[in-house]
Amino acid sequence: MTTSRSVDVLVVGAGPAGLAAAARLAAAGAGRVEVLEREQQAGGVPRHCAHGGFGTWTRPLTGPRYARLLTEAAERAGAVLRTGTTVLDWAGTGPDPAGGPACPGPAGPGARPVLTAVGPGGPETIEARAVVLATGARERPRTARLVPGTRPDGVYTTGELQQAVHLFGQDIGARAVVVGAEDVSYAAAATVRAAGAEVVALVTEHPRAQTGRARARSVRLCHGVPLLTDSTVAELLGRGRLSGVRVRHRDGRTAVLSCDTVVFTGDFVPDHELARRGGLTLDPGTRGPAVDGALHTSRPGVFAAGNVLHAVERAGTAAGEGAGAAGAVLDFLAGTRWPAPGLPLAVEAPLRWIAPNRITPAVPPARYVLRTSTPLTRPVLRIHQNGRLLHSERPSLGTVLPNRPLTLTARWTGGVDPEGGGVRVSLA
């Protein structure tokens, strides 16, 4: 009943990272490259981001168009895309996903990863010489954010809202409050307006919007949408359908905004279920699999790329990582040894996380991506190992906001003592 197959490379997830990895691998002659996607269409989250900002400066694209181009490129290169197929687990006795040491797989080191999947054709077991995990990220829903109150209808995340409006044309209510004021929040507000509904307000706990000033100003002035800063949604109200949200300002004042829809935006978390089920070491900062510069995870033969590593970077960054991972996969298929776990790379507050977050003698990454939890003006990042300063860098001359990309060059990575202790990134 269960079909068993072998492929050269199995990519899990047909979003930007997975598709870019598959395209490059297939084009480079990696053999049978298969991408499994649980949704009915390939393309990942950009499928329902019906707005611009994708592609390149010279060739700007909308999300759906970008998703289509990546899909076509992977197929053209010869990768096999199988949609409507869900990867369930790793075959063999899985480790305790609640913790425990990373395991090299049930058959010991050198064993090939084997995954179980299911689709309309029934169960499958797929053995691969290499696996690329590209399972992406999701927004924390209201429940995970512990927002109290009743449990009415009309509570969305951006992901659900965009699909409801752009893929299914569903009614999403008349008056929406958007929780968050970062890029994705403004995209959600645009989706609300595209559905013919009114945006009551954007609410952010931060002192200002975390998007370009021009964009924030245009939404406030051209569309008359107020931005409530230093404020949180403290309670949802209403029975049956949402009737309002209670917002609380940092100074303790509260007010009720009348609305029938609320959209929780941002606050992304890696969709790391498969990584955990496979016993991959997770990075405590990102909560995604820990990877080195060449995107090796802790489990031999298993790579990871895209927003499962860092929730959340732009689609282009994810696609770039997918292509980068492909290079390391090709080396591995050609016989390059799997690196030892390497040294942990960690950040100190107010920095939240960094990726990649392991340092091995393998290739350093193109660059590191980080996030801060507080606004940083003209920050200087310092990298230490055992108290020794390896590098310091001013990544931006302006202000770096939470939820906005912050990057760090990787040229210092060669100076790390492989026998030394962990490497730390802090603010000067």
Partner 1 sequence: MTVTVTAAGPLPPRTYDVVIVGAGVVGCALARELARHPRLSVALVEAQDDVGQGISKANTAILHTGFDAAPGTLEARLVREGYDRLGAYAAESGIPVERVGALLVAWDEEQLAALPRLTGKAERNGYHETRLLNPGELYAREPHLGPGALGALHVPGESIICPWTTTLAYATQAVRAGVHLHLNTQVTQVSWETDGHRLLTSRGPLLARRLVNAAGLHADIVDRLLGHEDFTVTPRRGQLLVYDKLARPLVRHILLPVPTALGKGVLVAPTVYGNVLLGPTAEDLDDKRATGSTADGLAGLRDKGRRILPALLDEEVTAVYAGLRAATGQEDYRIAAHPEHGYVTVGGIRSTGLTASMAIAAHVTGLLAGTGLDLGPGREPEPVTMPNLGEAFPRPYQRPELMAADPEYGTLVCHCERVSRGEIRDALATTIPPRTLEGLRRRTRARAGRCQGFYCGAAVRELFERGRA
Whole-angstrom distance, CA of residue 221 vs CA of residue 308: 36
Among 71, 157, 211, 297, binds partner 1 (CB under 8 A): 157
Nearest to 261 by CA among 325, 189, 210: 189
203-242: which residues touch partner 1 (CB under 8 A)? 234-235, 239
CB of 118 to partner 1, least distance (A): 5
Contact 267, 140 (CB under 8 A): yes
Taking each continuous run of H as one helix and of E as one strand, the counts in the chain are 7, 29
58, 59, 108, 146: residue in contact with partner 1 (rule CB under 8 A): 146
Q: How far apart are CA 90 and CA 139, in angstroms?
A: 25
Q: Is residue 122 part of the contact set for partner 1 (CB under 8 A)?
A: yes
- Decide whether 163 or 211 has the Cβ nearer to partner 1: 163
Judge residue 102's burial from the number of C-beta atoms within 10 Å of its C-beta, 0-12 exposed, 13-18 middle, 19 or more buried. Answer: middle
Instruction: Tell me the DSSP string of 260-302.
Output: SEEEE---EEE--HHHHHTTPPBPTTTSSB---TT-B-SSTTE
Are the C-beta atoms of residues 358 and 341 closer than 8 Å to each other?
yes
Q: To the nearest whole angstrom, how small is the minimum distance from the Cβ of residue 23 to partner 1?
A: 24
- Among 377, 318, 381, smallest CA distance to 347 is for 381
Which amino acid would we find at residue 95? P
HSE toward the beta carbon, residue 336, CA cutoff 13 A: 16
Our CB check for partner 1 shows the closer of 26 and 187 to be: 187
Point out which residues pair with 132 in neighbouring strands: 11, 303
- Of 88, 92, 233, 209, give the one whose Cα is nearest residue 149: 233
Among 8, 75, 205, 273, binds partner 1 (CB under 8 A): 273
Residue 29 in the binding site for partner 1 (CB under 8 A): no
**Candidates 8-16, 153-161, 218-226, 253-261 — which segment interacts with partner 1 by CB under 8 A?**
153-161
Cα separation, 228 vs 216, whole angstroms: 12
- The site that binds partner 1 (CB under 8 A) totals a number of residues, namely 46
Place of tokens 């079909």: 3
Contacting partner 1 within 307-366 (CB under 8 A): none
Which residues in 67-106 contact partner 1 (CB under 8 A)?
Answer: 84, 86, 88, 96-99
Nearer to partner 1, 170 or 373 (CB): 170
Among residues 31, 92, 119, 375, the one that binds partner 1 under rule CB under 8 A: 119
Write out the binding residues for partner 1, residues 166-195 only, by CB under 8 A: 167-168, 170
Q: Which residue number, 109 or 284, has a Cβ lying nearer to partner 1?
A: 284
CB of 209 to partner 1, least distance (A): 23
- In the complex, minimum distance from the CB of residue 88 to partner 1, in angstroms, rounded to a whole number: 8
Q: Which of 148, 212, 226, 415 binds partner 1 (CB under 8 A)?
A: 148
CA 192 to chain centre: 23
| Residue 120 sits in the site that holds partner 1 (CB under 8 A) | yes
Examine residue 38 and tell whether it contacts partner 1 (CB under 8 A). yes
Q: Are strands 302-304 and 122-133 parallel, antiparallel or unpaired?
A: parallel
- Smallest distance from the beta carbon of 87 to partner 1, in angstroms? 10
Which residue is associated with the tokens 């393309």? Answer: 43
- Residue 164 CB, shortest distance to partner 1, in Å, is 4
User: Which residues inside 251-270 make contact with partner 1, applying CB under 8 A?
Assistant: 269
- Applying CB under 8 A, the span of 161-169, 255-263, 310-318, 337-345 interacting with partner 1 comes to 161-169
Which range touches partner 1 (CB under 8 A), out of 27-35, 154-162, 222-230, 405-413?
Answer: 154-162
Strands (E), 279-393: 302-304, 343-347, 351-355, 358-359, 367-372, 376-377, 381-385, 388-393
Q: Please spell the DSSP secondary structure of 204-260, one letter per residue.
A: -SSSS-BS-HHHHHHHHHHS---EE-SEEEEEEE-SSB--EEEEEETTS-EEEEE-S
Say whether residue 153 binds partner 1 (CB under 8 A).
Answer: yes
* 139 binds partner 1 per the rule CB under 8 A: yes
Query: How many angstroms separate the CA atoms of 139 and 159, rounded?
Result: 7
Give the one residue of 10, 73, 133, 160 binding partner 1; rule: CB under 8 A.
160
- Using CB under 8 A, pick the residue from 164, 194, 340, 427 that binds partner 1: 164
* Residue 144 touching partner 1 (CB under 8 A): yes
Chain residues that interact with partner 1, rule: CB under 8 A = 1-2, 38-39, 84, 86, 88, 96-99, 118-123, 138-144, 146, 148-151, 153, 156-157, 159-160, 163-164, 167-168, 170, 234-235, 239, 269, 271, 273, 276
